[in-house]
Amino acid sequence: AKKEGRSSTHYFNEVINQSMKKRVALENYLRLAVGNSELIPYFQPIIKIDNDVESVCGAEALLRWFHPSLGNISPAEFIPLAEETGQTLDIGEWLIEEICRIYGEWLKKGSVNLDYVSINLSVLQLQQKDFHKTILESLKRHEVPPSAVVLEITENVLVGNFDRVNSNISALRSEGIRFAIDDFGTGYSSLTYLKKLSLDIIKIDRTFIREIHDDRGDKTLVQAILNIARDFGFNVIAEGVEEEMQIGIMKELGCRFIQGYYFSRPLPADRFLEFYERFTT
Ligand code: C2E
Ligand code: CA
Ligand code: CA
Ligand code: CA
């Protein structure tokens, strides 16, 4: 038994060892990813439903990492890693510039007429003293009006240096940039946000949408969120809509903005434009 114990400890250590090695390798690969052009923003359409007329009103930029030997690595894996290692600052700055470049080109060519493109932020970015300047410079450089951009934040902005976060948000909002609260309903303090932060859009997390067609509780919750949002004057986007039945319920509840695989997965820039054209004409 003793021998067995030792070998299972050995096995356990080996597993930890392997996963740490993998992590360090991934971390090092990620440092090279921007320079090697392995990171690419994709765009997922956000659809507005107005009296049964559907239009593409926006797009959420979602980062993709294609590594030459490891293949496609999910943001669920590399974004948290980038956060923990602080790489999220460099990647985030590059990404904002890249999205502004692409969006600026669309606007110049008249390829799209969107209300906004939205960009996911890490709390680390909002804690940087001059973050608002960085983003405003990128917008200016590519002639993207601040009013055509939405920044998505999650409730972890409420922890840490909240004053810094708030002053960045105020500075950006005063320039016309809008803010969305992402994954709404999943955290502990969702309602606190609404009071503490100046926001424009609520994105209802897809866990509430997934079973909305056969879970009365979820439907009641979504209804409640919509009521609160109406009173605060926020627009609401339902995330993760995959089924026609869910669309029907969102219409019934009066939720006019929909994002999800039902309409489209996130697409590379050129394919997003194709989708836009097909949808619009
Ligand atoms: P998120 O911001 O909540 O993004 C929505 C996620 O839901 C995306 O996953 C999207 O592909 C997925 N999704 C959209 N519609 C559906 C649907 O109908 N069904 C299902 N099952 N999923 C759907 P993705 O692209 O894998 O990103 C995962 C998370 O990684 C994002 O969640 C976001 O937190 C983070 N992330 C992605 N790109 C960035 C980025 O550029 N910066 C930062 N800071 N985080 C990012
Ligand atoms: Ca998001
Ligand atoms: Ca979300
Ligand atoms: Ca999420």
What is the distance between the alpha carbons of residues 203 and 183, in angstroms, rounded to a whole number?
6
Which DSSP letter does residue 244 get?
H
Q: Is 273 exposed, middle or buried (0-12, 13-18, 19+ CB in 10 A)?
A: middle
Please report which residue ranges of 110-142 form alpha helices under DSSP H.
123-126, 131-141
Ligand 1 pocket check for 185: Cβ under 6 Å: no
Q: Give yes or no for a contact between 184 and 202, defined as CB atoms under 8 angstroms apart.
A: yes
Residue 178's pLDDT is 98
Residues facing residue 151 across a β-bridge: 119, 179
Residues facing residue 41 across a β-bridge: 63
Which DSSP letter does residue 74 get?
P
Ligand 1 pocket check for 125: Cβ under 6 Å: no
Confidence of residue 15 (pLDDT cuts 50, 70, 90): confident
Q: What is the mean pLDDT of residues 31-39?
A: 96
Residue 4's pLDDT is 59
Q: Give yes or no for a contact between 83 and 125, defined as CB atoms under 8 angstroms apart.
A: no
Ligand 1 pocket check for 93: Cβ under 6 Å: no
What is the distance between the alpha carbons of residues 232 and 176, in angstroms, rounded to a whole number?
18
Give the Å distances, CA to CA, from 47 to 8, 123, 177, 189, 205.
53, 27, 20, 28, 16
Q: Ligand 1: which of 38, 63, 120, 261 to mutate, most ligand atoms within 8 Å of CB?
A: 120
Which DSSP letter does residue 182 get?
E
Exposure string of 24-62, with b = 16+ CB inside 10 Å and e = fewer, is: eebeebbeebbeeebbebbbbbbbbbeeeeeebbbbbbb
Within its chain, how far is the Cα of 118 from the centroid? 7
- Nearest by Cα to 93 from 84, 82, 78, 104: 82
Average pLDDT, the chain: 93
Ligand 1 pocket check for 258: Cβ under 6 Å: no
pLDDT in tens, 193-249: 788 888 999 999 999 999 998 888 999 999 999 999 999 899 999 999 999 999 999
Question: 247: how many CB neighbours lie within 10 A of its CB?
Answer: 20
Q: What is the mean pLDDT of residues 100-118?
A: 98
Question: How many angstroms is it from 9 CA to the middle of ligand 1?
Answer: 37
What is the distance between the alpha carbons of residues 108 and 130, in angstroms, rounded to a whole number?
28
Question: How many angstroms is it from 137 CA to the middle of ligand 4?
Answer: 28
Confidence of residue 159 (pLDDT cuts 50, 70, 90): confident
Give the Å distances, CA to CA, from 106 to 22, 72, 123, 142, 280.
39, 26, 28, 10, 15
Which DSSP letter does residue 157 get?
G
User: 87-109 vs 75-84: helix axis angle to the nearest 10?
Assistant: 120
pLDDT in tens, 259-271: 999 999 999 999 9
Confidence of residue 175 (pLDDT cuts 50, 70, 90): very high
Q: Is 159 exposed, middle or buried (0-12, 13-18, 19+ CB in 10 A)?
A: exposed
